[in-house]
Amino acid sequence: GDRLEIERDVVVIGAGPAGLMAARTLKKAGRSVAVLEARPRVGGRTWNGKVADAQGREHFIEIGGQWISPDQTRLIELVDELGLETFPRYREGTSIYVSPDGTRHEYEGTTFPASEKTQAEMDQLIATLDQLAAEIGAEEPWAHPKAAELDAISFREWLKQQSDDQEAIDNVSIYVASGMLTKPSHTFSTLQAVLMAASAGSFSNLVDEDFILDRRVEGGMQSVSLKLAEELGEDVILDSPVRTLEWATPDESTADPLNHVPADVRNGVDNDGGPGSVTACSDRAVVRARYAVLAVPPNLYERISYVPPLPREQQIVHQHLSMGLVIKVHAVYETPFWREEGLSGTGFGGGRLVQEVYDNTNYGANFAGGQAGQEDPFGTLVGFVSDVYAEQMWKLSPQERQHAILSAMADYLGPKTMEPIAFYLSDMAAEEWTRGAYATSYDLGGLSRWGHLQNQPTGPIHYACSDIAAEGYQHVDGAIRQGEIAAQRIIERG
């Protein structure tokens, strides 16, 4: 049918938390906006879902991002502004550590019950990483004098240089590798690992699951986006992937006739000569605006055709950012049986198929008939199968896959784990408008070479995403912050 023809001050591409926050901030400052979203829903990598059991009862799950940590202050404020409630992750009782030889240990607190030597090695590695994170920071890691050196060595190699204790290396590497970037530790640099730590306040914070996985939103993290979209009303257009983005800078005389890219933009210099113009062509609407906010993950930038093409630096940068791969597993039980055994539901084991499990039982408005302050009588576990293990799992039949994953979870919480009433695997890598999980990161050496360009506007095009954030990097908090920053920059430009 006919596409809508719309004129606005700003067109926002992507209705994830970053794009919606950019639109909200712009609208509050009196700018008109239109948000174009490829999917039939808002929220991007935050997504409320349901899984049915054999009796047809539906259980609430969060397919994407869900946890908030205390350092994520911008998100915490926003959740409050939107009138949403949060609740803490269940963490009473003992946790389980499975060591490399398969031995199961019960422990309290946040420190693995490894040997004294391994524990001392881990403490030493964590202290060194804390120091690097404090020194380098999350704002401009590429600008630090040690950037090139730390970006030239993989996290695994660096850990091997610091320690000869394999168990300590495995345990420390999982906090960033399978735990966050969801790539094997030989594929990303130490600088990238330091950015991950600095963005969360410190490396010690990454180690502390009571910190990192502190609270959830009642009604699910997608509620943040649903509320923002509700405020924006008809300015959000769903089912409408942007295919082409035409853009021009205000002064045509600076354009280079050979490659159609204005010289100042090609040289990576922000054009501060006021508004330009953009036309975003999507399946359901064509939006003409003065600015665009490109609020999609960087691995998807090249799904859009730019007319003229983006400057060479941007074309290069985008090829060095790729998604990690992780399967988020939900298993639902009649009761949270582990609690009756005095267990918190938390389990860890470096180098195992499922390296982390947690109690993910629903609370308040999250479950059918649930009300604020009430807990779901059904127990839910969440587990993660990262990078190379995720690849292995997708090669199996559904039955073999479910059996392998539940067996690995049973290593922590016992044989009852094998018999959930409902089971669900988040498959973000198969989603056309995400293509991986949790987020994108640079390949070896990419951050120091290209990081300084990731937040530079290209003429009238501004970038916003959790994956190019400083604080809150790879998290909803970072998405919110980047959305707000992009909007403020546009407001300042007039």
Which residues contact ligand FDA (rule: CB under 6 A)?
Answer: 13-19, 36-39, 44-46, 64-67, 241-242, 295-297, 300, 303-304, 328, 426, 428, 433-434, 437-439, 465-466, 474-477, 479
Burial 36-63 (b: 16+ CB within 10 A, else e): bbbbeebbbbbbbbebebeeeeebbbbb
Question: What residue is closest to ligand FDA based on CB?
Answer: 16
Between 142 and 358, whose beta carbon lies closer to ligand FDA?
A: 358
Q: Write out the H or E segment, with its range, that includes residue 486.
A: helix 476-493
Cβ neighbourhood burial of 275 (10 Å; 0-12, 13-18, 19+): middle
Residue number, 129 or 296, with CB nearest to ligand FDA: 296
Q: How far is the CB of 16 from ligand FDA (least distance, A)?
A: 2
Contact status, residue 49 vs residue 62, Cβ threshold 8 Å: yes
Torsion of CA 89, 384, 337, 219, to 10 degrees: 40
Element spanning 248, H or E: strand 242-248
Minimum Å gap between C-beta 62 and ligand FDA is 8
CA–CA distance, 349 with 104 (Å, rounded to integer): 9
Give whichever of 238 and 418 is closer to ligand FDA, judged by the CB atom: 238
Cβ of residue 319: shortest distance to ligand FDA, in angstroms? 17
Q: What amino acid occupies position 489? A: R
Q: Which residue has the tokens 């992507």?
A: 14
Least distance from C-beta 472 to ligand FDA, angstroms?
7
**Closest CB 99 distance from ligand FDA, rounded Å:** 26
Q: Which residue, 344, 322, 266, is CA-closest to 440?
A: 322
Burial of residue 1 (CB within 10 Å: 0-12, 13-18, 19+) is: exposed
Closer CB to ligand FDA, 46 or 458, in the complex: 46
Shortest distance in whole angstroms from residue 21 CB to ligand FDA: 8
Nearer to ligand FDA, 151 or 356 (CB): 356
* Structural element, H or E, at residue 314: helix 312-317
- Residue nearer to ligand FDA on the CB measure, 168 or 464: 464
User: Least separation, in Å, of the C-beta of 297 and ligand FDA?
Assistant: 5
C-beta of 74 vs 266, nearer to ligand FDA: 74
Q: What's the length of the chain?
A: 494
Q: What is the DSSP string of 147-204?
A: HHHHHSSBHHHHHHHH---HHHHHHHHHHHIIIII-S-TTSSBHHHHHHHHHHTT-HH
The residue (of 44 and 459) whose beta carbon lies closer to ligand FDA is 44
Comparing CB distances to ligand FDA, the nearer of 262 and 383 is: 383
Cα separation, 286 vs 245, in Å, equals: 10
Containing 410, the helix (H) or strand (E) segment is: helix 398-413
Q: Cβ of residue 292: shortest distance to ligand FDA, in angstroms?
A: 11
Instruction: Tell me if residue 128 falls in helix, strand or coil.
Output: helix
Q: What residues are paired with 215 via a beta bridge? A: 68, 88
Q: How far is the CB of 478 from ligand FDA (least distance, A)?
A: 6
Q: With respect to ligand FDA, which residue has the nearer C-beta, 159 or 480?
A: 480
Shortest separation between residue 164's beta carbon and ligand FDA, angstroms: 33
